Amino acid sequence: MKILALGGSGDMGRMAVAVLLESPKTTSITVADKNYKRAKHFIDLVDSDKLEAVGLDITKQNKLTSLISSYDLIMNTVGPFYKYGTMILDAAIRAKIPYVDICDDWKPTLELLEMNNRAKEAGITALIGIGASPGITNLMAVIACSRLDKVDDLITAWGYGVGERVGSKPKYFVEPRKFYKKFKDMPQIANAATMHLFYETVESIPTFRDGKIIDIKPLTDAEPLQFPGYKDTYVCHIGHPEPITLPRVLNVNSVSNLMYMGKTITNIVRKYTQQISNKELSVSEASIKFGEEVRIMNRNEDIIKEFIGMPPGLSVIAAGINDGIRKKIAIANNRVPFGGMAGVTSVPLALAAEMILNGEIKEKGVLTPEEAISNPMNFFDRYAKFCGNNLNGKDTLLIEEVDL
């Protein structure tokens, strides 16, 4: 199978490519980047005859559609998705080629879902938001809710967790330091993940409360996250897609997506958000300054202490009733793939791509992870391979059940 990896030489893309190179179904992967030298440098470092590089400006729609047409699947890690998500899926639909991405912005998620009928008419599967949050959190939410007869409140959360055991480095993974060494003289650019963070903090965000979507102010404090066995953790609301997608599949009363980065760093986010709102900084400028400040703050012992005792980096809590008893089902990552954010985001993406290529996800249209993946634990069994030796899906998850 021939795969086109859009943004394949970026931090998320490189990990997904490394995972898919291990799949026997993969015959070739074309790594596409606006900067051809970056893509070529990556494939030179990997040195696999399955890889080739191409320079591509995805804003040139005709060229994008023409290139897409010769592949079996499009894997999109080009961020931020609020800028590029819809134009790439539009091209995939016009070319009638299956598609996967890691879209984590709520607004483009709605726009992508509106393309569902077009994708069905084109006869393609387009699986969106299959990363960490959304992605892993959605599948954990399905498992948690399946253990309750009635779900009142569902929380999906992500942050600076500690304590997860980490899997081995994939064979074809290229360390960031090794990759970026050649580009040390490149001008400083804003990280797409950080730009996404600020995009989700400058306008109202949706959450699902009392059976309906409502708009709230981003970074609003929520009740402390109470994950069994860990300290009560400071959290705030952030604009990820889970509150708008999970209620489409799960019978729940409320869904929140929360962030835990500690009070100090959250307040730094608020500072730059205000400067963006005041038009003192652009999102790109704020992203660069935030990255610089956090790198310094993360060496501060007082800041590090804030992270101690937090739950693992991805967690879900469902509260409701089972057999007439009020219960809380809490699920978190117990084991994670190698690579930090790249591992927990891009391993799920690559696995979903493989499932589509294998014909295991047959439904057509624009699908979210909870719609496309009918057996989440089977998915975690595959995920476990990248989290350690001789593990199954249950080994990767910390599951706690508490009577309320």
Report strand pairing: 28-33 vs 51-55: parallel
Contact indicator for 111, 40 with CB cutoff of 8 Å: no
Residue 127 shares a structural domain with residue 48? yes
Per-residue pLDDT of 31-55, as tens digits, reads 999 999 999 999 999 989 999 999 9
Show the CA angle centred on residue 92, arms to residues 90 and 93, nearest 5°: 65
What is the pLDDT averaged over residues 182-192? Answer: 62
SS3 sequence of 7-61? CCCCHHHHHHHHHHCCCCCCCEEEEEECCHHHHHHHHHHHCCCCEEEEECCCCCH
**Residue 218: inside a domain, yes or no?**
yes
d(CA 16, CA 26): 12
Residue 155 shares a structural domain with residue 71? no
Q: 294 pLDDT band (50/70/90 cuts)?
A: confident
Residue 147 shares a structural domain with residue 235? yes
State phi, psi for 269 to the nearest 5 degrees: -60, -45
Residue 165: give its domain's CATH number.
Answer: 3.30.360
d(CA 284, CA 137): 27
| Of 64, 59, 55, the residue nearest 34 (C-alpha) | 55
Residue 172 shares a structural domain with residue 317? yes
Per-residue pLDDT of 322-371, as tens digits, reads 999 999 999 999 999 999 999 999 999 999 999 999 999 999 999 999 99
**Residue 393: inside a domain, yes or no?**
no
**Residue 402: inside a domain, yes or no?**
no
- What is the helix (H) or strand (E) element at residue 304, kind and residue range? helix 301-307
**Residue 210: inside a domain, yes or no?**
yes
Residue 122 shares a structural domain with residue 142? no
Q: Which amino acid, residue 362?
A: K
Q: 3 pLDDT band (50/70/90 cuts)?
A: very high
Three-class SS of residue 222? coil
d(CA 335, CA 156): 18
**Residue 400: inside a domain, yes or no?**
no
**Residue 276: inside a domain, yes or no?**
yes
| Of 217, 213, 214, 237, the residue nearest 225 (C-alpha) | 237
**Residue 310: inside a domain, yes or no?**
yes
Residue 172 shares a structural domain with residue 241? yes
Residue 100 shares a structural domain with residue 171? no
What pLDDT is attached to residue 188? Answer: 53
**Residue 360: inside a domain, yes or no?**
yes
What pLDDT is attached to residue 216? Answer: 97
Residue 185: CB atoms within 10 A of its CB come to: 5
Residue 322 shares a structural domain with residue 256? yes
Residue 87 shares a structural domain with residue 6? yes
Which residues of 217-251 form beta strands (DSSP E)?
236-237
Q: pTM of the prediction?
A: 0.95
Which residues of 217-300 form beta strands (DSSP E)?
236-237, 252-260
The number of residues making up the chain comes to 404
Among residues 336, 352, 378, the one where a domain terminates is 336
What pLDDT is attached to residue 298? Answer: 72
Residue 317 shares a structural domain with residue 356? no
| Of 218, 196, 195, 223, the residue nearest 207 (C-alpha) | 218
Domain range holding 377? 2-132+338-386
Q: For residue 69, count CB atoms less than 10 angstroms from its CB and return exposed for 0-12, middle for 13-18, buried for 19 or more.
A: middle
Q: How far is CA 189 from CA 184, 185, 288, 292, in A?
A: 12, 12, 7, 12
| Of 72, 81, 70, 16, the residue nearest 42 (C-alpha) | 16
Residue 115: give its domain's CATH number.
Answer: 3.40.50.720
Residue 194 shares a structural domain with residue 290? yes
Say if residue 193's pLDDT is above 90.
no
Residue 97 shares a structural domain with residue 228? no
Q: How many domains does the chain have?
A: 2
